[in-house]
Structure 1
Amino acid sequence: MGCMVDKAPDCFHPNENPEEILTIISKPPNEYYNELLHPFIIQDHPTLNLTIPPASLRNQFSSKDLTQKDFPIFSHTTSDLIHFAYKIFQISGLDTPKLISFLSLINQNYLNNLPFHNFWHGFSVFQMIYVIGSRNSQLNDFLIDKEYMILLLAAIGHDVNHPGFNNSFLIATKHDLALKYNNNSVLENHHIYVMLEILKASEIFGFEDMKNISLIIIEAILSTDMACHKKVCDDYLLVLGRFDKGDRGCRQKFANYLLHCADLGNQALDFQIASLWSLKILREFNLQVICEEKYGIQVSEFLRTGNDINKIKASQIGFIDNIILPLWVKLAEKVENIEDFPEELKRNKKKWEELKGFE
């Protein structure tokens, strides 16, 4: 069962100095992850026993920040985020009780004790696509009918039930999920399975709708596998110059690329938010290295940063330079009104470069 944590782990006030945060969050995570280390378990089937919707759903929240790029996500609980997601999905005309059930089940099935791959991350990716859609008439130049809404659904559930370890770890440890999915996009296939089971349990869509929706969600979530990065980029570039909105394949490749960009988009946020996301994912990486040592498998040394500020900086600068910035530059060539995302990436790269180490 997903942990019912309602406050983001390792959550610091957005105005804190990133240099001070580094000294806290980059400590060795052995004790923090003790419950995951003994034993190592991933739930094979989703939790479908719905808890009572949070009381905060009945409270009045201001949703004015939802169209802002730098949404203050760490100022909100999961109950708040469920409410905000509900407000966004209201444009789709989905049945309210069923929609709330779906969102609550998605939250329940994220492992919210993880620093990074939790419901806050799922919501952040979802909200980033909503920001881009709100600036571009719900992306109606690229998608038709309900495809924008389906992409938002895929985004909020794209990492549901993520254990905080990558596919290589599951394969190396011969985990049941790796065997189930033949070592192929193991986590992504698991996220899809859990996501579709939750959709069916919430009964938002009928049988015929589910068939069409499933196709879009499956391809979009599979595109978030970093092993597919080159293919997703190549597919997008192939249709970039001759985009045909009437071609389902073109629309799907666009949706895949946009979700991939948003999944890697936290460094395109204001540095005070972006640096927190960086430190959260690095903490999970450090955990994986510890677990690899514990299980006696090949250690992913490239994931090890520990407290070394130079390694932390190098990892983030390299990822921005080689992966994230090229992604967003190409997206901004096709999608209007998002120039601030690649520009923010350039500013953040400079801020990482200027960040001083600890004496």
Structure 2
Amino acid sequence: MKKNTTPVYYGDYLHLDKILSAQELQSEKYATAAHEETLFIIVHQVYELWFKQMLHELNTVLDVFTQEAVEDHQLSTVVHRLNRVIKIQKLLNDQISVMETMTPQEFLSFRDYLVPASGFQSIQFKMLEIKLGLKTQYRIDFDKQSFYQRLEPKDREFLQNMETKNSLFEMVNDWLERLPLLDFEDFKFWHLYEKATQEMLQSDREIIQQNETLTDEEKHKELTELGKTEASFNAIFDEAGYHTLLQEGHFRLSQKALMSALFIHQYCEEPVFNLPFQFLTCLTEIDENLTLWRYRHAMMVQRMLGTKIGTGGSSGHDYLKKTTESNRIFKDFFNMSTFLLPKEVLPALPVNVKKNLGFSLSSV
């Protein structure tokens, strides 16, 4: 049954008069209207609408993690909404193929009328990056210098103020640190995990040394690589060593947060860890989709402009290509597989630990 007292008309509800009249062609102001400029405008307007929805979802996730405790039902909602963000990201990535129906010459028919406007001036996209955790200090040097320079003062001040607030990355780091997973009564996961890794790596060493099919040179090469793997494992057990790697930018998560995330990944099949695992997986997918979007955007710019500079004055494709791999947020979750052990060598969770953990991972 209807609940409204005033009839609603489709076009009025969606404000289609405003939306469908919001495509003003720059080319038409100076010469004959460029046919493809309408496509260019609509694609970018759709981007901004979806950015608005992504921010709408992300803000509710941030609200959950500002609380002292994150309950299971809240984490379920968080996973649901982040999955929606992921679906939107896939739409945005696919949308690039629509833009690529425009040829380079068709783009050039109106491109020079857009100077100095640039996608770098998308405030909503910068909001998404900052809220997720890509603040200025985590960008590569040339991006740090140019991140705010193309913005109007009011937009620059707004975003710089946003950078002073905790991002989702920072909140997740704190949440992982608070989870009661690593030290429970007589169960010391940290020590058991270290023992299991040492046994696994020693077994690998013996396999290499006893492999008669390998030459001395091949054995030396494989043992050298094994040594690098051992060094990676040793780093996460050594507080001082880990801190050094943290300062050098090899990790962003704190040591305790990384170990909690590792614990969740190792025992993801346990019901109590399923939702946290889904949540961390969502963050990984969001970062992956952002990287794919940057990559596809860089390829499209190279296809359209070659080595020409961007309308905003950047080096165009070269700039975008460099940010593709460097401007990552949840890279530690991608590298988690480095430290995963085979199921058969994992320390078994004691019955009392399973029982006492129950089905809640509230931060207490």
TM-score (norm 2): 0.26
Higher relative contact order (CA 8 A, sep 6+): 2
* Structure showing the higher helix proportion among its residues: 2
TM-score (norm 1): 0.26
